[in-house]
């Protein structure tokens, strides 16, 4: 009688033990884009800053076509879109084709990319000892260097030049004594927005 009364408790104990000791396994498949989100934010932040520095007011009310050949691999997508948007905000009339334009605006991209740097303070590269980091500082940089000029289509005369403009962006990810990561910089990282 006593043994039968113990049976439910034994089953419950074994079930709980198998639950805690056996653990559980979850598999999540994650795919990444060719360029990370942070890399894209850094590059586009630099592009936004440099394009906002252009003053297209001398071309206001002129029918202009933007030649993006000099943008290289970035001649489609966000960069030419932002240049056209900036032109339009200064009253420039945007031509759909080169043939209908009276002015050709040529864009040249000298630099558009990212770099990174990692600094560590602690015990590293010691045989038979695990790495111990007191401080880890990861910094990523984005840079955009751009120049534009405009010429009359008929005469070829240069009527406007932007000058060479450059803008940088950065993100600093720091861990100190096991705390962090702490994000600072010109972009807001998604890690700081989790749960919002």
Closest residue by Cα to residue 52 from 165, 143, 134: 165
**What Cα–Cα distance (Å) separates residue 47 from each residue in 69, 139, 140, 167, 194?**
17, 19, 16, 7, 26
State the Cα–Cα distance between residues 124 and 130, nearest whole angstrom: 8
From first to last of the 196 residues of the chain, give the pLDDT tens digit.
455 566 666 556 655 555 455 555 556 556 667 778 888 899 999 999 999 999 999 999 999 999 999 999 888 889 999 999 999 999 999 999 999 999 999 999 999 999 999 988 887 766 766 767 789 999 999 999 999 999 999 999 999 999 999 999 999 989 988 788 888 898 876 555 544 4
pTM, entire model: 0.72
């Amino acid at each position: 009688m006593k043994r039968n009364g113990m049976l439910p408790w034994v089953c419950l104990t074994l079930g709980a033990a198998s639950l805690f000791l056996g653990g559980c396994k979850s598999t999540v498949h994650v795919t990444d884009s060719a360029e990370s989100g942070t890399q894209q934010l850094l590059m586009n932040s630099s592009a936004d800053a440099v394009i906002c520095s252009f003053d297209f007011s001398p071309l206001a009310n002129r029918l202009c076509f933007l030649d993006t050949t000099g943008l290289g691999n970035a001649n489609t997508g966000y960069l030419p879109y932002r240049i056209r948007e900036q032109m339009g905000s200064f009253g420039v009339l945007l031509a759909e084709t080169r043939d209908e334009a009276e002015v050709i605006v040529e864009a040249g991209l000298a630099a558009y990319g990212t770099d990174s740097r990692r600094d560590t303070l602690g015990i590293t590269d010691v045989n038979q000892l695990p790495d111990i980091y007191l401080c880890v500082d990861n910094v990523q940089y984005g840079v955009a260097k751009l120049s534009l000029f405009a010429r009359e289509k008929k005469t070829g005369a240069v009527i406007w030049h932007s000058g060479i403009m450059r803008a940088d962006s950065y993100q600093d990810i720091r861990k100190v004594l096991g705390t962090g990561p702490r994000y600072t910089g010109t972009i807001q990282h998604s890690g700081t927005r989790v749960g919002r």
